[in-house]
Amino acid sequence: MLSGKIIQKTKKFLSSPTGVAYLLILPCLIVIFGIIIWPVLYSLYISFHKMYMVHPGEFPFVGLKNYIKVFRNPVFWAALGRTFYFTGVSVGVSIILGLGIALVLNQEFRGRAFMRGLIILPWALSSVVNGMMWKWIYNGSYGALNGLLLQLGWIDSYKIWLADPKVAMNLVVMAEIWKETPVGVIFILASLQTIPNPLYEAAKVDGANAWSRFKHITLPLLKPIILLLIVIKSIWAIRDSFDVVYMITRGGPGDSTQVVTYYAYLATFKFLRFGYGAALAYLITLIILIFAVIYVRLLYRREM
């Protein structure tokens, strides 16, 4: 009798909206708690411990010691600075380039649909292939960049570009810009299409030239999407800096391209300092979460 009642009650709950909802969301929640939220918390826990995988049995609590070590380490600050340089330049240039390309592709010309489709190509490549491809282009002995510059007469002999610390960083950034530009183009193109044409017609009638139409109509209307792009692309750039650095320079020459994600990887999986690595990972996550909060805010403001 009792079990029958329970079954009935369960049945009733499961056919109520809340019941159905939780039934449908449950598998998802298991995944999200199991492999995102729990590991994130466990990471925090590890970061308060000394965990040196050369001595896997020892796991002493050290409080904030790992964080203090990170903050006292000039290598970390240098890596963080490089991360901001990498992020700032690649996001800035790829958005400006993306805006330019989107404005051109928004004009009338033959093969417009084809070009709009093709533009997605760099995005579809994996960051690994992208890095490998650019490393090959930059190659000091046989690279296409050397060949091209030699033929143009800009250099007298082949140069080992990636051996120069300053050049190396900018070449890594350039590889990232090439891959990341399409996303900006796609976002901005989609946004451009929502601008009503009569707006431009009216401005034309009022005698506004192309530049002032761009400045007073297009740019203000694109502002929200560009803001959104800056935030989301910064998150992606911080995250993806690892792949492109790993592929092209492995942080070299010297430490000159060692971004903070690559530094965290080395500390954790090369030097096996898991506690220290977890602290580093946590700091990276915090930086990204700041951007994420801004991103969610921006999205929500637009939804309202």
Read off the amino acid at residue 248.
Answer: I
What's the closest the beta carbon of residue 192 comes to other proteins, in angstroms?
10
Contact between 219 and other proteins by CB under 8 A: the answer reads no
- SS3 per-residue string spanning 202-253: HHHHCCCCHHHHHHHHHHHHHHHHHHHHHHHHHHHHHHHHHHHHHHHCCCCC
61-120 residues near other proteins, rule: CB under 8 A: 101, 104-105, 107, 109, 111, 115-120
In terms of CB distance, is 1 or 110 closer to other proteins?
110
What is the torsion angle, in degrees rounded to the nearest 10, for the CA atoms of residue 215, residue 119, residue 234 and residue 243? -160
In terms of CB distance, is 169 or 274 closer to other proteins?
274
How many Å is the maximal CA-CA distance in the chain? 94
What's the closest the beta carbon of residue 197 comes to other proteins, in angstroms?
14
In terms of CB distance, is 1 or 132 closer to other proteins?
132
121-150 residues near other proteins, rule: CB under 8 A: 121-129, 132-137, 139, 141-142, 144, 146-148, 150
Give the C-alpha separation, 82 to 20, whole Å: 49
Contact between 197 and other proteins by CB under 8 A: the answer reads no
Contact between 225 and other proteins by CB under 8 A: the answer reads yes
The answer to whether 229 touches 187, Cβ cutoff 8 Å, is: yes
User: Helices 274-303 and 38-47, interaxial angle, to 10°?
Assistant: 140
Give the C-alpha separation, 187 to 208, whole Å: 26
What's the closest the beta carbon of residue 81 comes to other proteins, in angstroms?
18
In terms of CB distance, is 89 or 137 closer to other proteins?
137
Contact between 161 and other proteins by CB under 8 A: the answer reads no
168-187 residues near other proteins, rule: CB under 8 A: 178, 182-183, 186-187
Give the C-alpha separation, 130 to 243, whole Å: 9
What's the closest the beta carbon of residue 175 comes to other proteins, in angstroms?
9
Q: Which two tokens stand for residue 302?
A: 């637009």
Contact between 38 and other proteins by CB under 8 A: the answer reads yes
User: Which residues contact residue 126 at a Cβ distance below 8 angstroms, ignoring those fewer than 6 apart?
Assistant: none
Phi, psi of 58, deg, nearest 5? -90, 135
285-304 residues near other proteins, rule: CB under 8 A: 285, 288-289, 291-292, 295-296, 299, 302-303
Contact between 247 and other proteins by CB under 8 A: the answer reads yes
What's the closest the beta carbon of residue 2 comes to other proteins, in angstroms?
26
Contact between 46 and other proteins by CB under 8 A: the answer reads yes
Contact between 267 and other proteins by CB under 8 A: the answer reads no
Give the C-alpha separation, 117 to 129, whole Å: 20
